[in-house]
Chains A and B, each alone.
Chain A
Amino acid sequence: MRLLKIIGKRFSRNRLSVIGAVTVLLLITISLLAPFIAPYDPTAIDVRHTLSPPSKTHLLGTDELGRDLLSRIIWGSRVSLKVGFVAVGIAIVIGIIIGAIAGFYGGKVDAILMRFVDIMLAFPTFFLILAVISILEPNIFTIMAVIGITSWMDVARLVRAEFLSLKERDFVGAARAVGVSDTRLIFRHILPNALSPVFVAATFGVAGAILIESGLSFLGLGVQPPDPSWGNILTSGKDNIEVAWWLSLYPGLAILITVLSYNLVGEGLRDALDPRIWEAERR
C-alpha cells in the first residue's frame, strides 16, 4: 500500500497526467451511467427533426435520422471503452505469456518466439485486421478479439526484456537455491517486478485500440448501425459534412479527448513507475 502511495505522489507531480486521469475517470463514469445520463434513446428515430443543429432540446444536434447526437456519443463511449479494455486485456495476457517464456528460458525458445513476434510485426496491423474482419462477421466481439490478437507483440517484447535482466538478479538465484519451481519463479518472483512497463504500454494500448475501433466502424467494418459508435457516427458526419458540421466535430472531439487523455495518463505512469523509484525512496 505504501508503494501505491509513492506512485500516486510521483504521478501527481505531472499536472497534465492528472488532468488526463480525471478525464479518463469521467469518461468511464459517463459510459457506465449511459442509460441514466443520455437524454434520449440513442436509436430513437425522429423524422421531423433530422439534421437539426445544436439547440436546447438537442444539445449537440441530431443526425440524418433525427437521432440525438449527445445520446449517441454517450452510448458510443461504451463501445470505445469495452473495445479498449478487452482488446488490451487480451493483448496483455498473450504478450505476458509469450514474453515471459521467451525471456525466462532464453536460447532456442527465445529465438523461435521472437522470430514469430517479428513475423507478426511485419504485417501492417490495420490491414491485417481489415482482412480478418472482412472474412468474419463484423461485431464488437470479433473486433475486440482481432485487435487483441494483433497487438500483443509490444507487450511480449517489453516483458521479455524485463525477464532477461531480472532472471540474472540475485533474488532469483536465491529463490532457485531455495528450490522454487520455474512456474513460481516466473509468476511469483519475476513477473510482479516486470509489470511496470506493461501497465504503461497497456494505457497507450487502450488509446490505440480505441482509434482502431473508430477507424473500423468509420469504414463500416466495425460496430454496425443502428448501434452507435464514435466511428460510425463520423461516417454519417462525412456524408453530411456540408450541412451538418456538428456530426463530424463532436464525435471527432470525443475521440481526440479520449485518446489524448489515455496518452497523458500513460506518460505520467511511465515516469511514476520508473524502477529507480524504489532506490530513491531508500535514500
Chain B
Amino acid sequence: MGIIDVKELRKYFPVKKRAFAKQDWLKAVDGVNFSIREGAVFSLVGESGSGKSTVARLILRLITPTSGEIFFQGKDIQALRGDSLREFRKSAQIIFQDPFASLNPRMTVFDTISEPLKIHKLVKRSELKDKVVSLLVSVGLQADVLNRYPHEFSGGQRQRICIARALAVSPKVIVADEPLSALDVSIQAQILNILQELKSQSNISFLFISHELRVVQYFSDEIAVMYLGKIVEYAKTEGLFNNPLHPYTIELLSSAPKIKPDGKKREILKGDVPSPIDIPSGCPFHPRCPKRFEPCDKIVPVLKQVQNQEAKGRLVSCHLY
C-alpha cells in the first residue's frame, strides 16, 4: 500500500448532445490503477488529451470520479467529511501547469500564501509574516514581494509562488500537473531544481505529470504511460528508458529531440490522438501503431505482467507481450 492508491478510476464527462441523440461520453480516465509509494516520485506521461490532468484533479478531490476509488493512506477520499477532509486538504497539494491562471489576480503574494496557514491555523497570527517570508525564501524569492500582485511577476516567479503556497501546509503529497511546460527552458531548470531539492530534503511524495520524457527521466522513480485514459505501460524509470516495451512508449521516447543526434532516423508518431469521445475499437493505439497485427483492432489488451525474463515485474498492455 502506498500513500495514494488508485483503483479502477474512471471519469466520463457528458458531451453536449443534440436533441434526441444518444448521450455521448468523453472517457477522460478509463480504468486506471496505480499506487504512489511514500517519499517516491510517480510520473504520469502521455500526449495531451490522455487524461493526465483529470487524474490530477481527481486525486485532489477537485472533481468526483464516475467510478473507482482513490485511497489516501488507506482511506477513501470520497468518504472524507469534516475534520478528516480538512486533514486531507492539509496533506495533498497541487501545482498547476499555467502559473498565470493559478494565482488569484486580486490577491497579494502575502494573501495567497498566508491563506492556507490561516485556514488550518498552522501558525500564530504574530508569526504569520515570518512564516510566509521563510516559505518565499525556500523557493528563492525575496521578502519584498509580499505586497505585490501576481501580474507583476514573470511565469517562473509565479510558479515559485505556487510552490510556496503548496508547501505552506507541509503536505505529504504534491501533485505537479505539468509544472514546467508553460515556462521557458532556462526557467524550467530552476523550477525543477526546487522540486529536486524538495524531493531530497523532505519526505514528500510526488505525482508528477508531464508530456516530456527527458524531464521525467531525472526526477521520477516510477512511470506510467497513459494513452486515451488508460495506462499502457507501468515501470521503474530505469527499466522504461533502457527497455521500453509498448510501441507507444517506444515512439514517445524516439520522438524526444536528442542533444547528440545518433544518425538514426527519429520515428515520429503519425496522426493525432483520436478523440476520447470516439475511442478506436480493440487496442486504442492500433490506428497509429507501427507493429499492429491480427488481434489489435478487435481485442482490447489488458494491463498485465510481462512474462519475458529481462522485463520481469513490468506491466504493459499490448498483444505483443
Interface residues of A (CB under 8 A from B): 2-3, 169-171, 173-181, 188-189, 192-193, 278-279, 281-282
Contacts and interface: CB of A to CB of B under 8 A. Distances in A.
A278 B169 CA distance: 29
Given A174-B96, A177-B60, A178-B119, A193 B105 contact: yes
Nearest to B104: A171
A282 B151 contact: yes
A166 to B, nearest CB: 10
B10 to A, nearest CB: 20
Interface of B: 57, 60, 62, 85-86, 89-90, 92-94, 96-98, 100-107, 115-116, 119-120, 149, 151-152, 162, 165, 168-169
A180 B92 CA distance: 14
A171 B102 contact: yes
Given A173-B96, A278-B105, A178 B116 contact: yes
Contacts of A192: 104, 106
8 contacts: A170-B102, A171-B103, A176-B60, A177-B89, A177-B93, A179-B86, A180-B119, A181-B119
Contacts of B98: 170
B165 A178 contact: yes
A269 B101 CA distance: 24
A171 to B, nearest CB: 5
Given A174-B94, A174-B162, A174-B165, 16 more contacts: A3-B149, A169-B102, A170-B102, A171-B105, A173-B62, A176-B60, A177-B62, A177-B94, A178-B115, A178-B116, A178-B169, A179-B86, A188-B107, A189-B104, A189-B107, A278-B105
A178 B57 CA distance: 13
Contacts of B85: 179
Contact of A2 (B97, B103, B149): B149
Contacts of B105: 171, 193, 278
A69 B144 CA distance: 59
Of the listed residues A174, A189, A193, the one surrounded by the most CB atoms of chain B closer than 10 A to its CB is A174
A281 B151 contact: yes
B180 to A, nearest CB: 15
Given A2-B149, A173-B57, A179 B116 contact: yes
Contacts of A169: 101-102
B144 to A, nearest CB: 15
A179 B61 CA distance: 11
A170 B120 contact: no
Nearest to A280: B151
Contact of B92 (A2, A173, A177, A188): A177
Contact of B120 (A179, A181, A188, A189): A179
A175 to B, nearest CB: 7
B101 A171 contact: yes
A192 B93 CA distance: 24
Contacts of A173: 57, 60, 62, 94, 96, 102
A175 B104 contact: yes
B181 to A, nearest CB: 14
A96 to B, nearest CB: 15
A193 B96 contact: no
A188 B119 CA distance: 13
A104 to B, nearest CB: 14
A200 B152 CA distance: 25
Q: Shortest 7 CB-CB distances between A and B: which pairs?
A: A179-B89, A170-B102, A192-B106, A170-B96, A178-B116, A170-B101, A171-B104
Nearest to B93: A177
A194 to B, nearest CB: 10
B274 to A, nearest CB: 25
Contacts of A170: 96-98, 101-102
Contacts of A176: 60, 62
Given A173-B57, A173-B62, A278-B151, A178 B101 contact: no
Contacts of A179: 85-86, 89-90, 116, 119-120, 169
Contacts of B162: 174
A239 to B, nearest CB: 53
